[in-house]
């Protein structure tokens, strides 16, 4: 009987250590975000829609996440390539929901009616990440944002992107 109890205790200890090791391994090196985005100008210059791609990494767990993204936005007679680098503070709301607030610089390259120009700006974003399946193998996100251009027109935009999350281990 003591041998059986000792074996059960050993199995429980090994499984606990194994589970802890698996939890430590599950933190991804990066998370890829692939989705769709839309942006609407507050100043009245129109709207654009297109695909969105970003990569996010965590240099300081529970304190800092860095996301770099690119989004080509298409509208009538205009193509705009938006790139941003956001520094985010993460908050874990539940085992399946994360929230982040972030800000950082943005750069836009716009081609409209045969002319092209570049603008620098700043962006603030709220990032909601949902991990509905155990093991966080895939998830989805929703990211509303506000942008401000440092150009002469001081364009202000509201944007949103949504899509899937793919962790890279």
88-112 pLDDT per residue, tens: 999 999 999 999 999 999 999 999 8
State pLDDT tens for residues 134-148: 888 999 999 999 999
The answer, yes or no, to whether residue 10 has pLDDT greater than 50, is no
**Residue 143 sits in a domain of what CATH number?**
2.40.160.20
Residue 26 pLDDT class (50, 70, 90 cuts): low
Ranges assigned E (strand) in the chain:
30-41, 47-60, 64-75, 78-94, 97-112, 115-130, 139-149, 156-168
Is 3 contained in some domain? no
Give the residue with greater pLDDT, 158 vs 45.
158
Dist. CA 65–CA 152, nearest whole Å:
31
Dist. CA 95–CA 140, nearest whole Å:
14
State pLDDT tens for residues 40-71: 999 776 899 999 999 999 999 999 999 999 99
Residue 113 pLDDT class (50, 70, 90 cuts): confident
Sign of the four-CA dihedral 28, 34, 35, 40: positive
Asked whether 110 and 122 are in contact (CB, 8 A), the reply is no
pLDDT of residue 8: 45
Mean pLDDT, the chain, whole residue set: 87
Domain containing residue 107: 28-168
Residues 6+ apart with CB under 8 A from 20: none
User: What does each C-alpha distance from 3 to 9, 10, 15 come to in angstroms?
Assistant: 10, 10, 18
Is 7 contained in some domain? no
Q: How many C-beta atoms surround the C-beta of residue 158 within 10 A?
A: 14
Is 18 contained in some domain? no
State pLDDT tens for residues 27-43: 899 999 999 999 999 97
Site of tokens 């890829």: 32
Is 49 contained in some domain? yes
Is 20 contained in some domain? no
Is 50 contained in some domain? yes
Domain count, the chain: 1
Per-residue burial over 27-53, b if 16 or more Cβ lie within 10 Å, else e, is ebeebebebebbbebeeeeeebebebb
Dist. CA 46–CA 146, nearest whole Å:
15
Is 161 contained in some domain? yes
- Where does residue 6 rank: exposed (0-12), middle (13-18), buried (19+ CB within 10 A)? exposed
The answer, yes or no, to whether residue 22 has pLDDT greater than 90, is no
Give the residue with greater pLDDT, 10 vs 131.
131
């Amino acid at each position: 009987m003591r041998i059986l109890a000792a074996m059960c205790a050993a199995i429980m200890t090994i499984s606990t250590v194994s589970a802890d090791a698996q939890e430590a391994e599950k933190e991804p090196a990066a998370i890829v975000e692939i989705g769709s985005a839309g942006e609407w100008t507050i100043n009245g210059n129109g709207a654009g829609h297109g695909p969105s791609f970003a990569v996010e990494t965590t240099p300081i767990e529970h304190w800092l996440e860095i996301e770099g993204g690119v989004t080509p936005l298409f509208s009538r007679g205009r193509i705009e390539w938006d790139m941003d680098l956001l520094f985010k503070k993460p908050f874990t709301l539940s085992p399946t929901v994360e929230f982040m607030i972030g800000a950082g610089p943005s750069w836009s390259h716009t081609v409209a009616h045969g002319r092209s120009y570049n603008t620098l700006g700043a962006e603030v974003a709220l990032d909601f990440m949902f991990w509905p399946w155990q093991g966080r193998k895939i998830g989805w996100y929703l990211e509303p944002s506000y942008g401000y251009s440092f150009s002469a027109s001081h364009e202000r935009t509201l944007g949103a992107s949504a899509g899937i999350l793919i962790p890279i281990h």
